[in-house]
Amino acid sequence: MTKLSVQHLLGIKYITKNDIELIFSTADNFKDVINRPIKKVPSLRDITIANLFFENSTRTRLSFELAEKRLSADVVNFSASSSSVSKGETLIDTVNNILAMKVDIVVMRHPKPGAALFLSKHVKAKIVNAGDGAHEHPTQGLLDAFSIREKLGKLKGVKVAIIGDILHSRVAISNIYCLKKLGAEVMVCGPTTLIPKYISALDVKVEHNMLKALQWCDVANMLRIQLERQEINYFPSLREYIMMYGLNKQILDSLNKEIIIMHPGPINRGVEITSDVADSKHSVILQQVENGVAIRMAVLYLLAA
Ligand code: NCD
């Protein structure tokens, strides 16, 4: 198979296991490319890509831009704070105006869940969802699974615990879909108030005790509390949250086994993870960032084909 089954990458929910495997094998090749002295290939010459970011981002925006430049695409960037969105323009008008400048692919981050899906139905361009509210963040799900595969050589049967604010996390949802499609076992862990009620429909284990989750898993993916999406208090105090769900070196050492520690970033050091864990040999946080570029090159390359 050399083609994706989809025109757009809107979420992992909408792609197949074969799609994911094709993206991974393509990313393997691009990972070799970005580790060569000459990191650039001409694959997307004559393709124009617009990165539309309606929400803050560091890693994801830079990672997409680097991926595009390493494929030799022409790139335009747009962020909501400096655009006509603040003058009352609709999303479709904004994007159609950009497309009138002959853009082929739109990479979009947006605070509203479903924004990328909506756009894909109304504009003539390939859409890549770079995170839409608490819905999905497909390239993060892909790069996380790719990083586990790289570290452990497989995903089938691997036990992954996703720990923290599951309720507001698009990273958790995309990880769950991706890992389940590839045969991994998934557990979510956090306070009851931060575990969504629909989670049982996704066929994952639920655990509220972090130590038990850590004892069960091969990989722990630690998530940030998404304070910007919380309108009410979901736990009594940050101090109490840290006591129950903050991962430190002492807890890690007490496990008597090696587990892999992941984090999508941005890290809140001293909250969900302490510095000695984030910077330890167990952590693959920076490998995740490196793999992010290769995964995004693969996605853009396959969608443009
Ligand atoms: C995540 C995001 O924005 O969804 N970060 C990322 O893309 N690397 C997670 C987060 O914001 O906590």
User: Is 1 inside a domain boundary?
Assistant: no
Residue 281 has pLDDT above 70, yes or no: yes
Task: State if residue 229 touches ligand 1 by the CB under 6 angstroms criterion.
Answer: no
Give me the helix-helix angle, 17-34 and 138-152, nearest 10°: 70
Same domain, 90 and 173: no
* Residue 110 CA to ligand 1 centre (angstroms): 12
Predicted local confidence at residue 267, as pLDDT = 96
Atom of ligand 1 nearest to the CA of 265: 8
Distance 259 CA to ligand 1 centre (A): 22
Tokens of 137: 């963040």
Q: Count of domains in the chain?
A: 2
| Sign, Cα dihedral of 149, 152, 158, 160 | negative
3-class DSSP assignment, residue 197 = helix
Ligand 1 neighbour 113 (Cβ under 6 A)? no
Q: What is the pLDDT of residue 84?
A: 65
| 173 backbone dihedrals φ, ψ, rounded to 5° | -65, -45
- Checking if the pLDDT of 122 tops 80, the result is yes
pLDDT at residue number 287: 97
Better-scored residue on pLDDT, 293 or 123: 293
23 and 76 share a domain?
yes
In a shared domain, residues 145 and 277: yes
pTM: 0.96
Q: Is the CB of 60 under 6 A from ligand 1?
A: yes
Assess whether the C-beta atom of 13 lies below 6 angstroms from ligand 1. no
| Nearest atom (ligand 1) to Cα of 57 | 3
Q: Which atom of ligand 1 is nearest to the CA of 171?
A: 4
Q: Are residues 174 and 187 in the same domain?
A: yes
In this structure, are 80 and 143 located in the same domain?
no
Q: What is the pLDDT of residues 63-97, one digit of tens each?
A: 999 999 999 999 999 887 666 666 778 888 888 88
Q: How far apart (Å, rounded) are the C-alpha atoms in residues 302 and 296? A: 10
CA distance 290 to 143: 9
CA–CA distance, 297 with 71 (Å, rounded to integer): 7
Specify whether 282 is located in the same domain as 299.
no
Tokens standing for residue 219: 């990989």
162 CA → ligand 1 middle, Å: 14
Residues 123 and 145 in one domain: no
pLDDT tens-place string over residues 135-173: 999 999 999 999 999 999 999 999 999 999 999 999 999
Q: Which atom of ligand 1 is nearest to the CA of 109?
A: 3
Beta-bridge partner residues of 107: 51, 128
Q: pLDDT band at residue 262, thresholds of 50, 70 and 90?
A: very high
Sheet holding 48-53, edge to edge: 74-79, 48-53, 105-110, 126-132
Query: Which stretches of 137-271 are DSSP H helices?
Result: 138-152, 170-181, 210-216, 238-245, 249-253
Closest ligand 1 atom to Cα of 60: 7
Average pLDDT over residues 227-255: 94
Hey, which of 53, 171, 287 would you mutate to test ligand 1's pocket, going by the most ligand atoms within 8 Å of its Cβ?
A: 171
State yes or no: pLDDT of 187 exceeds 70.
yes
Whether 180 and 266 share a structural domain = yes
- Would the CB of 131 count as within 6 Å of ligand 1? yes
Shared domain check, 282 and 293 = no
In this predicted structure, the answer to whether residue 230 has a pLDDT above a threshold of 80 is yes
Dihedral angle over CA of 160, 136, 130, 220, nearest 10 = -20
* Main-chain dihedrals φ then ψ at residue 215, nearest 5 degrees: -65, -30
**For the domain that residue 45 is a member of, what is the CATH number?**
3.40.50.1370
Query: Residue 86 has what pLDDT?
Result: 65
- Is residue 6 in some structural domain? no
Whether residue 95 is found in the same domain as residue 201: no
Q: Is the pLDDT of residue 297 over 70?
A: yes
Q: What is the pLDDT of residue 16?
A: 98
Highest mean pLDDT out of 94-103, 120-129, 186-195:
186-195
CA–CA dist 220, 1 (Å, integer)? 32
| 184 has a pLDDT exceeding 80 | yes
Q: Is 171 in the pocket of ligand 1 (CB under 6 A)?
A: yes
Q: How far apart are CA 278 and CA 267, in angstroms?
A: 9
Residue positions annotated with a catalytic role: 59-60, 87, 109, 137
Same domain membership, residue 260 and residue 154: yes
**Rg of the chain's alpha carbons, rounded to an integer?**
19
| Ligand 1 close to Cβ of residue 265 (< 6 A) | yes
The pLDDT tens digits for 21-68 are: 999 999 999 999 999 999 999 999 999 999 999 998 889 999 999 999
Same domain, 118 and 160: no
Domain residue limits at 50? 12-135+289-304
Does 4 map to a domain?
Answer: no
Does any domain span residue 113? yes
Which of the listed residues 51, 135, 140 should we mutate to test ligand 1's pocket, taking the one with most ligand atoms within 8 A of CB? 140
pLDDT of residue 82: 61
Q: Tell me, yes or no, whether 203 lies in a domain.
A: yes
7 belongs to a structural domain: no
Q: Beta strands of 175-304 (E only): which ranges?
A: 185-189, 205-207, 219-222, 260-262
Distance in angstroms (rounded) separating the CA atoms of residues 186 and 175? 9
With a 6 A CB cut-off, is 140 part of the ligand 1 pocket?
Answer: yes
What is the model's pLDDT at position 85?
66
Residue 76 lies in a domain: yes
Mean pLDDT, the chain, integer:
95
Query: What Å distances lie between residue 105 and 97, 119, 122, 127, 136, CA to CA?
Result: 14, 12, 14, 6, 19
Q: Is residue 2 in a domain?
A: no
Task: Give the angle subtended at the CA of 242 by the CAs of 240 and 246, to the nearest 5°.
Answer: 150
User: Does the C-beta of 59 come closer than 6 Å to ligand 1?
Assistant: yes
